[in-house]
């Protein structure tokens, strides 16, 4: 896929360096490592592969290409894993590497998802997000998501604390 052309302007980062490709089982190790950077209850490679195998599921991986002249490797930036059913879709998970946050990666992933879903006739995207995940909530609101519900005590933190989830929706 060609580089994304979105940039949230929050840093000097060049969003044209974000390349998006389909997330396949071949990238499960990379996706699992990214997930571990973003979530306390991270999914392993097998979980990601199982989710990708569900009918209607797809994922998108964002990375920054390495510089061959400098012998620099590609840098995984984030991914999104989706599930579609008829005219609705759910974001099962989305994560961006800590050092790539607020640099347009999340927006590029959401834009790519929207494009694919519109082409497939999907008109509604749902997701759940922890009420204490301020960065993700801001990203979702900036991208047209609105709160439609709350799940009490949905997430369990490592210290045993329970955190509510906001249920968000975007009509497309």
**Could you give the residue numbers annotated as active site?**
128, 140
Choose among 81, 103, 83: nearest CA to 12.
103
Distance CA(82)–CA(31), nearest Å, equals 13
Choose among 93, 94, 114, 92: nearest CA to 6.
114
Q: Which residues does 125 contact at the CB level (< 8 Å), separation at least 6?
A: 88, 89, 90, 91, 113, 114, 117, 145, 169, 170, 172
Spell out where the chain has E strands.
Answer: 19-22, 57-64, 75-85, 88-96, 124-130, 146-156, 162-171
- Maximum alpha-carbon separation in the chain: 52
Q: What token pair was written down for 164?
A: 């509510």
Q: What is the distance, to the nearest Å, from the Cα of residue 76 to the centroid of all Cα atoms in its chain?
A: 12
């Amino acid at each position: 896929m060609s580089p994304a052309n979105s940039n949230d302007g929050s840093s000097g980062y060049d969003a044209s360096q974000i390349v998006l490709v389909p997330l396949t089982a071949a990238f499960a190790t990379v996706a699992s490592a990214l997930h571990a950077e973003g979530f306390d209850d991270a999914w392993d490679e097998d979980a990601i592969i199982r989710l990708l195998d569900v009918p209607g599921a797809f994922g998108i991986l964002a990375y920054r290409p390495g510089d061959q002249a400098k012998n620099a490797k590609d840098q995984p930036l984030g991914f999104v894993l989706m599930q579609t059913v008829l005219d609705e879709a759910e974001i099962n998970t989305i994560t961006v590497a800590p050092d790539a946050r607020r640099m347009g990666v999340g927006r590029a992933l959401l834009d790519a998802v929207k494009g694919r879903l519109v082409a497939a006739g999907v008109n509604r995207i749902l997701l759940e997000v922890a009420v204490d995940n301020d960065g993700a909530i801001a990203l979702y609101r900036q991208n047209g998501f609105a709160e439609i519900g709350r799940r009490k005590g949905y997430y369990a933190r490592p210290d045993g604390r329970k955190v509510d989830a906001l249920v968000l929706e975007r009509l497309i």
